[in-house]
Structure 1
């Protein structure tokens, strides 16, 4: 192995709650444009290049290039007889914003990344209820600092350009009668990106309605046209939502400060709440009083006036409620049961009508109903099925002259009776030309405290895995659920005889809010214990051995990787730790870190500091053997500061044994959004080559052409 680059030590010693810490690499917290940091980063990238096995990379490359061309089909939003989506074609580098006149019709481009300077990406959109205009956000370099623009859907003409408005997105935008509301955030370069302004724009005039500087909450906006009410849901990153109505002088330019002009309509306390509005009804998806979630309903006008309390319409069941949307006559509920999706249609009073057929062990997302028809659209995927766009016609008993046109209804009706409920058809599905059949199973492992934890395992169907190179992926935080999803760049590893395993560690909400709470704050170690239990199961079951078992994760999942590595490095043969949090005694000082303290605890609170110091990976690097580990970060990451990865790599290279320990720093990208296909191809090829090579995969194991 080549020798890692030198890293200057410049120790900084400080005392925290009576404990003394020496940080030899504090200088690596500087910005990427610091000359010394930039030079060190370049040398680390060169070292990573030298470590990655060129022969194995060359063997994998044809397969990676083949799957990179698979198109990405995004969720469809139907409004006013138009159908809008973000799609990346197989010959394109990034997604375009498209509109269709029918669900399966030919698309017209409303916005494309190549219209803008730099490494631009269109990442989100919001369609006007009439369907005649669309707002969208475009960012550069993956920094999630969005320019907000509005275009007409007929001619694609630019109707409004608000300039750069920060981290706003589709849930922080709402159409009004003659304008729109949105939330702008501060500049991350001056530490103000958590500050928020509520703005209203109409006829080219823009006014600030209110400001809000609580760093622990993010707002979601909804607008109810019949009553003219702006609904603002203040939600914490780790859970807890308060639904309010804006009662200020709408559009008058008066600025509120804080909470006084937001009247509380529903306080979820520590529970999550999301809002779905129709002209007549309001529905709240919440886990308040129901750990797995339920749906509340109320008369919209009465609720928004603060006069009517919502009542349960869909009670808590076996599945965990994830999304709620409405069509003209149906309430559609998406839930997870045993970490896989279910989709059901209900009457507005909550009466169950029917289930929508889904493939087994699959995941649904982007569920969108058409308020003017009984149509619902969603994206479905699984470990062996790329994300595909599906149209479900929820109408029953419609035929002849009463049926919608064939394209919208999904084809001809049976002449001898009403159609089957929820007739579905796939609108867009990538053509996966890969000679690879996968076997997928859902197992259960027992964690340290006796809790049963789901573990998905996928491998080639023609091979019974035994001592196989195995990649275990985990996240475990912020209510993020690991369900069966497709990853094109996982396929070449599987084709080469690898096994992919996915642990539903606590900290997510695969089994509702109790599952989340069982892996956060003082209980965070349970996340790591669940991953360790999954690793031990895979070895004890003979699937793999410890030296052929790798662990992967990113962001909060990168924290999980760092923690299990430093808790017991002997479990692992290799690791990939992407855009990670690793210095948990200083995470709150950078970028969005302060907003995550409800999830992890606050280092400046002594009792919470005790939780964090128990596992903070950076402080637990010791003079012992660690497996080969590739860390990745990005210059434009506006969420997790690159210093986490930098400092930990420096400490491992200089204070630990084993390895190699590599750092790959990407430019022109951020925490994950906005990457071009070429960027993602190079990044994923490096990650999988590194992992596979150190788990014992050789070029001879890779089938010809991948």
Structure 2
């Protein structure tokens, strides 16, 4: 039970939290000036060693010492609770002061302009996604290089001339998230959003003309679009009262939209009125015969039901109605449904379910569990296309309908196969392959001949051959061996003098696999080119090694994941890759939590930290939007046994007076998943308790959401800011 003690009026006139002040800097020539006025006709690049003398003073931030929450008899101060009121004038004052502080500091960092130019070149190359075949056409998503969003094209034949179908950059629809093509190739439903929000809208493209139909759906969040007949199934929450970050999203529901009708006329297909914190997702089988729904309470485990897609008034039949294991539809052959599941198989297997006898005692195992994790599976053309993770590296295997292995496909290097694109009844499939040093190449898989060929390879100004990737295994604090990828220029001297960037996650079964643009802002390629070392630790709590690996780093074992990450840092130092003065850490979302925990538990171990869109207030995270979906991993402060564990590692609640590493927190005002108040509170407390000289800064973008910024220019600027910050504070 949580109660609030002595919460006064928010801000009496005499207690405005943010008098607006410019940040001060101390320049080498001994004159105390504001950062804005510190230029004196020169830049820090021209001032040379003068940059080493920069000191900053932080804005005065109102601490509400009367705000105290009581958790199970224990009082916990929440002095920055007022920052949760995001649209208040006091929070806007706070944001303005913090933006001034950060912008002025970053403007003086050496190499920032050069990094912007380099990142622009890294982005400036043609990028394709794997094509989708519908009817007589192949549909291609292509970005010329510096376009904000890829344009939809189509061609007759795989190598035919590309004709423009739809350009989201000029359509006035905001940020496009996904396309879903109707089986007959007549329509494409698209999900899009304003300002990067998780709240989605749906529009429908007439693929013959490229024009948008009048169909328009609102208030989708976390939804598939599953075509059936002349329409599709989709998921949504009830409409929010307003765009409000603090409002919980509950009672997820499944609807069917028939083209040409208003959303108010859509048929409600499934709603759970008893359990508000369950999400529902609908899929249709490739032959359009069955509707399969899965219910989720979190990332680990789901219930699964089915029904005849055309029978609106019939009930769903359960296949599995508990939440202990996960089930993912792979495909069907007539009445036989196939699922990838970890039921009785922590590493995953494929099971066959006859819709006439869906009870577990009648299930048939088709592809047994193997030593490697079964990460993905699809059924098409009478073949199972499966992707396994061997020590976090992708391998593809093809099986027939009875589970006989037909072929293993291994590609060069340590890389990742992204989800294959298949078309119903097609004899070919496409998939994308990438690694830490290799951009995404597209491959064509012939399902008749069981052959693989390169379809498209990008031309990019990056010398992949100059770098090497190796995987080592180090020992964590409890003796468990944990893998880590280490990427660097060939022939580099391992003398302990190398700036190093360490990345991880360790939550919600997230996979941190080899990808060229792992961060979304090209941190790794640009960092490597300047002589740095990049490292990725596949710590417990992730999904790289199956359910047991995840379980051992979640719940009351969560500290294990953080220990694994800190042990990785110690390994890099002990083995002469770097030193604590040259080691930086980066993570986004749940990886931001990892970074927040690491810098508060072991501040002496790192020189710089960048938590992006982090979950940092672990006592209140479940009270915002859909934060409750993470509770199966973390627990919640409402349960006494979870509260004590969360309090032990919650980054916000473990900041004490100490010397912390240089910290640049990244967030966005419109992030309605890991809401920005996590970052606001964390930075305020860290600035107040910083006893060292390193800066504590926050970069708050006005646009963009949890999945990133909206424009290429924004991504370039953010990437350059992060790289310049890291490069400067890692002793170079």
Same fold? TM cut 0.5: yes
Q: 1:457 to 1:215 in 2, by over 3 A?
A: farther
Instruction: Report deviation, 1:83.
Output: 3.0
8 Å Cα contact 2:375-2:388 kept in structure 1: yes
Q: CA deviation at 1:545?
A: 0.3
1:175 aligned partner: 227
- C-alpha offsets along residues 198-257 of structure 1, whole Å, 9 cap, x if unaligned? 2112242322233236454332322247674311011333211111024799557xxxxx
Could you give the per-residue CA deviations for residues 121-149 of structure 1, whole angstroms, max 9, x where no partner exists? 21111122222321111111110221112
Equivalent residue for 1:229, pick from 243, 267, 290? 290
Counterpart of 1:628 (choices 662, 675, 683) is 662
Specify whether residues 117 and 505 from structure 1 end up closer, same or farther in structure 2 by C-alpha distance, changes over 3 A only. Answer: same
Instruction: List gaps (5 residues or longer) in structure 2.
Output: 1-54
- SS of 1:637's partner is coil
Which of these residues, 4, 29, 39, is aligned with residue 93 of structure 2? 39
Q: CA deviation at 1:160?
A: 5.2
User: Does residue 22 of the first structure (1) align with residue 56 of the second (2)?
Assistant: no
Which has the larger displacement, 63-72 or 131-140?
A: 63-72
**Could you tell me which residue of structure 2 aligns to residue 681 of structure 1?**
716
Residue 490 of structure 2 aligns with which residue?
A: 461
- Give the TM-score taking structure 1 as reference length: 0.89
Which residue in the other structure is 2:506 paired with?
476
Structure 1 position 210 matched with structure 2 position 270: yes
Match of 1:569 among 595, 603, 616: 603
Give the structure 2 partner of residue 412 of structure 1: none
Does the C-alpha gap of structure 1 residues 218 and 335 become closer, same or farther in structure 2, counting only changes over 3 Å?
farther
CA gap 1:199/1:464 in 2 versus in 1, 3 angstroms: same
How far did 1:85 drift?
4.4
Look up the match of 1:449.
Answer: 478
CA contact (8 A) 1:472 1:549 kept: yes
Deviation at 1:653, TM superposition (A): 1.0
2:137 corresponds to: 82
Give yes or no for contact 2:299–2:508 (8 Å, CA) kept in 1. Answer: yes
Q: Deviations over 1:316-343 (max 9, x none)?
A: 1122111111221211111111000010
Q: CA deviation at 1:609?
A: 0.6
1:579–1:632 CA contact under 8 A, matched in 2: yes
CA contact (8 A) 1:369 1:375 kept: yes
Aligned 1:296-335 pairs, distance under 5 A: 296-299=351-354, 302=356, 309-335=362-388
Does residue 638 of structure 2 align to residue 583 of structure 1?
no
1:154 to 208, 228, 232: 208
Alpha-carbon separation, structure 2, partners of 1:71 and 1:45 = 34
SS class of match (2:440) = strand
Specify the alignment match of 2:187 in structure 1.
133
- Cα distance in 2 for partners of 1:570, 1:203 equals 59
Shifted more, 100-109 versus 459-468: the winner is 100-109
SS for the counterpart of 2:154 is strand
Matching of residue 112 in structure 1 with residue 167 in structure 2:
yes
Task: Note closer, same or farther for the CA distance 1:80–1:241 as it changes in structure 2 (3 Å cut).
Answer: farther
Query: Which of 322, 325, 340 does residue 285 from structure 1 map onto?
Result: 340
CA contact (8 A) 2:485 2:536 kept: yes
CA distance in 1, matches of 2:542, 2:81: 32
The answer on 1:492 being equivalent to 2:526 is yes
Q: Choose the corresponding residue for 2:568, options 534, 539, 548.
A: 534
Distance in structure 2 (CA, Å) of the matches to 1:103 and 1:58? 41
* Cα distance change, pair 175–307 in 1 and its aligned pair in 2 (3 A): farther
Q: CA 1:561/1:308 → structure 2, altered by over 3 Å: closer, same or farther?
A: same
Relative distance call for 1:484 and 1:262 in structure 2 (3 A) is same
- Is 2:118 the counterpart of 1:63? yes
Runs of 4+ aligned structure 1 residues displaced above 6 Å come to none
The TM-score, its normalising length taken from structure 2, stands at 0.86
Which of 468, 476, 480 aligns to 1:439? It is 468
1:201 aligns with 2:257: yes
Q: Is the 8 A contact 1:139 1:674 kept in 2?
A: no
Equivalent residue number for residue 693 of structure 1:
728
Counterpart for residue 36 of structure 2: none
Contact preservation (8 Å) 2:683, 2:697: yes
Distance in 2 separating the partners of 1:165 and 1:100: 33
Structure 1 unmatched runs, 5+: 253-259, 397-420, 698-706
Task: Give the deviation of 1:187 after TM superposition.
Answer: 4.2
Separation of aligned partners in 2, 1:435 and 1:601: 42
SS at the partner of 1:566? helix
Would you say the 8 A contact 2:584–2:730 is kept in 1? yes
1:427 aligns with 2:456: yes
Residue 647 (structure 1) aligned to one of 678, 681, 688:
681
Shift of 1:59: 3.1
Which 10-residue stretch deviates more, 344-353 or 226-235?
A: 226-235
Count of residues in Structure 1 that have an aligned counterpart in Structure 2: 660
**Greater shift in the superposed pair: 354-363 or 101-110:** 101-110
SS of the residue aligned with 2:362?
coil
Question: Cα–Cα, structure 1 residues 431 and 104, in superposed 2: closer, same or farther, change >3 Å?
Answer: farther
- Cα distance in 1 for residues equivalent to 2:636 and 2:555: 9
Q: C-alpha separation between the residues in 2 aligned to 1:504 and 1:360?
A: 18
Q: Deviations over 1:251-293 (max 9, x none)?
A: 57xxxxxxx9432123464111100223424210011111111
Q: Distance in 2 between matches of 1:530 and 1:333?
A: 29
- From 295, 312, 330, the equivalent of 2:350 is 295
Please name the residue that 2:423 is paired with: 370
Equivalent pair of 2:298/2:631 in contact (CA under 8 Å): no
Give the conservation status (yes or no) of the 8 Å contact 2:123–2:146. Answer: no
Q: RMSD value over aligned CA atoms?
A: 2.3
- Tell me the secondary structure at the aligned position of residue 275 of structure 1: strand
Larger RCO, structures 1/2 (Cα 8 Å, 6+ apart): 1
Give the corresponding residue for 2:317: 263
Worse-matched range after superposition: 446-455 or 155-164: 155-164
CA deviations over 1:649-670 (Å, ceiling 9, x no partner): 1111112212310011011211
Q: In structure 2, what is the equivalent of residue 239 of structure 1?
A: 300
| DSSP-derived class of the 1:115 partner | coil
Query: Does 1:660 find its partner at 2:714?
Result: no
Say which of 121, 128, 141 aligns to 1:73: 128
